[in-house]
Amino acid sequence: MRLTYIFTSLVLVLRCIALVILAPVAVAFYYRDWSSSVPFFAASLLCIVLSFLFRTKTDTFESLNDIKKSEALCVVALSWLIFSFMGMIPYIYFGLSPLNSLFESVSGITTTGATILTHFDYPKTMFFWRSMSQWLGGMGIIVLFIAILPQFAVAGRQMFFAEAPGPTEDKITPRIRHTAGAVWTIYLIVTLMEILLLRIAGMPLFDAFCNSFSTLAGGGFSPNPQSIMGYHSSIICWIMIFFMFIAGVNFALIYKVYLNKKPSLLLKNEEFCTYAGIILVFSLIIAFLLYFSGSYHLFDSLTAGFFQTISVILTAGFASVDFSQWHLNAQLFLFCLFFIGACSGSAGGGMKVVRWLFLFKYLKRELAKILHPNAVYPLKINKNIIPVEVIQQIIGFIFFYFLIFGISAFIIAILENNAILGMTGSITTLGNVGPGFGVIGPMGSFDMLHPVSKALCIFNMLVGRLELIPFLAVLHPDFWNIK
């Protein structure tokens, strides 16, 4: 691993962070809250200073075209860490402790949506930054930088798939920079559409911006202390249901449907059909459980069922009701969704539907081989055979995912003296879901957790958002062969 390549990449990343972190300043000026702009100017200035310090250790930017996969993984991991630490500066300025500031920053950037806020008496600028940081993290900060920086023309491919690893590499245009640009264009257009519809539905314009940023990112941060429940509108809930569903779909697939003008491509995609099927089945089951338990009327049950199902599977973390108060049966079905996640290539987090689809096909093949040991059963998804090395990567990912979940759940349960808190706190942060049950539920806060539990949740959020790959690479001795 060559340090000059790492520093050269980080110079570009720091300059971009210095630019995007200034966006909330416009909100501060609009509301004439001049003092709220100070931490964003400070964070931007710090990024610029660091970029000049790193620049003294770099080669020319053209050298990035020769970047290796291990170096790309390192750049991605360091970029998210730097963005997290720069993003915590405004929270410190507004009165949060350093640990709580880092927690809120990481939760925003990783689109987890778990909050440590116990009250909402903060400037609008801070709430705008909370949601905007989720919007930037939802599609990936590296993907954004690849789209706008010509210096990442070739090296961008390594970083693109290092930031959003998965069973398949969806490239929708010949050049990876154009792919990143296409994905972000779709992301921006759909976000603007949701802002408009939420405003028409009666949501205040500032809230429409913040909630739309968080929706398309699969984040869940809302400027309303009661999340979406605080707007008391079924129309707003159904608008957000639609856009959360879209945010959970592979953006490369959406782009292909748009280019070919063939909506039928959606129905030919196994992951999309599985994703839609899971949402439909779980939404109806939860809705009927709520209705027959006497919790809500039929329409409200359907609204709550669909909203919370899509919010959890997208790992958005929004709440139209306080689901921690639901009947146990409904909570159990919702808890199952914490482990699933959205489609690969979407803004959602979690395990991803495609890996579950693979796992069931893999188990089915192994059962068939018991009866027919000499038969050859190739694993296929969307009629494409999955290579052996990809199969091994997916199995390794699933193993480490549940290993990290089990270890962190055990430690948090001991620290908090609460097994439910340990399990839900671990999976909601590792899967970037957001709220759990009980005191860390949708109307609760992570502030009461032990400092070590908070630190472990921060680790889970970062590892979960990067889908383990950069983290696992760091554990290998060859990764630290510094040149």
Domain boundaries, the chain: 386-480
Per-residue confidence (pLDDT) for residue 483, from 0 to 100: 63
143 near 183, Cβ under 8 Å? yes
Q: What is the pLDDT of residue 179?
A: 66
**Sequence letter at residue 454:** K
The two beta strands, 384-385 and 380-381, are antiparallel
Spatial CA neighbour of 236 closest among 199, 276, 193:
199
pLDDT for residue 174: 43
Model pTM?
Answer: 0.89
Looking at residue 62, what is its pLDDT?
Answer: 52
Of the candidates 327, 328, 324, 401, the residue with the CA atom closest to the CA atom of residue 359: 401
Q: Are 114 and 440 in contact (CB under 8 A)?
A: yes
Tell me if 214 sits within 8 A of 318, measured CB to CB.
yes
Half-sphere exposure at residue 450, Cβ-oriented, CA atoms within 13 angstroms: 13
**Residue 112 is encoded by which pair of tokens?**
């987890």
Q: Tokens 């599985």: give the residue.
A: 274
- Token duo for residue 189: 């257009």
CB burial string 414-423: b at 16+ within 10 A, e below: ebbebeebbb
Give the closest residue to 38 by CA, choosing from 130, 120, 125: 125
Q: 45, exposed or middle or buried, with CB in 10 Å at 0-12, 13-18, 19+?
A: exposed
DSSP class of residue 437 equals: S
Other CB atoms within 10 Å distance of the CB of residue 114: 31
| Angstrom distance (rounded) from CA 333 to CA 289 | 10
Find the DSSP H helices in 293-327.
Answer: 298-313
User: Is the dihedral angle over the CA atoms 355, 361, 364, 366 positive or is it negative?
Assistant: negative
In tens, the pLDDT along 70-85 reads: 777 777 788 888 999 9
* CA 192 distance to own-chain centroid: 19
| pLDDT tens per residue across span 224-248 | 999 999 999 999 999 999 999 999 9
H-state helical runs in 124-233:
124-139, 141-148, 156-163, 176-200, 205-217
**Dist. CA 400–CA 421, nearest whole Å:** 21
Ramachandran angles phi, psi of 384, nearest 5°: -105, 130
pLDDT at position 161? 46
User: What is the pLDDT at residue 5?
Assistant: 72
CB count in 10 Å sphere of residue 442: 25
State how far the Cα of 370 lies from the Cα of 449, in Å rounded to an integer: 48
Rounded to an integer, what distance in angstroms lies between the CA atom of residue 115 and that of residue 443?
Answer: 10
Helices 3-20 and 141-148, axial angle in degrees (round to 10): 90
User: What is the rounded CA–CA span in Å between residue 125 and residue 23?
Assistant: 10
Structure tokens at 478: 């060859």
C-alpha separations of 344 from 22, 42, 47, 340, 405 in Å: 30, 36, 31, 11, 20
Low-confidence stretches of the chain (pLDDT beneath 70):
1, 56-67, 69, 140-180, 470, 474-476, 478-480, 482-483
Instruction: Give the model's pLDDT for residue 156.
Output: 41
